[in-house]
Amino acid sequence: MVMGRATKKYTVTLPEEPAEEIRAEVGPGAFSAYVTRAIERQREHDRLEELVGRLEVEYGPVTDADPSAAESGRRGKDSHRSGIRVVTSAMTLAEVTPPSR
């Protein structure tokens, strides 16, 4: 089982050089998990491409100015947040409100 899910054996043909490099890096026991994660990332990428395509049909293509405008808007919202900070410690995220003044 990979990541707690039922598995099924498949035969695929891969380019030898990158496949052997990956197998050497992750070890033979982790090769299937590595390939599974790569497939999952590709599926996510494909779904995001489909979403972008649908959004572009509805709203038009993204222009070069759009990312800058979105970033400026995000920064404006962040500066108006009411004193909430995110503290990272031992891989745990916690929201902390500073003491009242």
For range 66-82, the mean pLDDT: 69
Question: How many folded domains does the chain comprise?
Answer: 1
Task: Pick 70 or 93 by higher pLDDT.
Answer: 70
pTM of the model: 0.58
Determine, yes or no, domain membership for 101.
Answer: no
Residue 95 pLDDT > 80? no
Alpha carbon distance 57, 61 (integer Å) = 8
Alpha carbon distance 47, 53 (integer Å) = 10
Evaluate whether 82 touches 96 at the Cβ level (below 8 Å): no
- Containing domain of residue 63, as a range? 16-96
Determine, yes or no, domain membership for 68.
Answer: yes
Determine, yes or no, domain membership for 6.
Answer: no
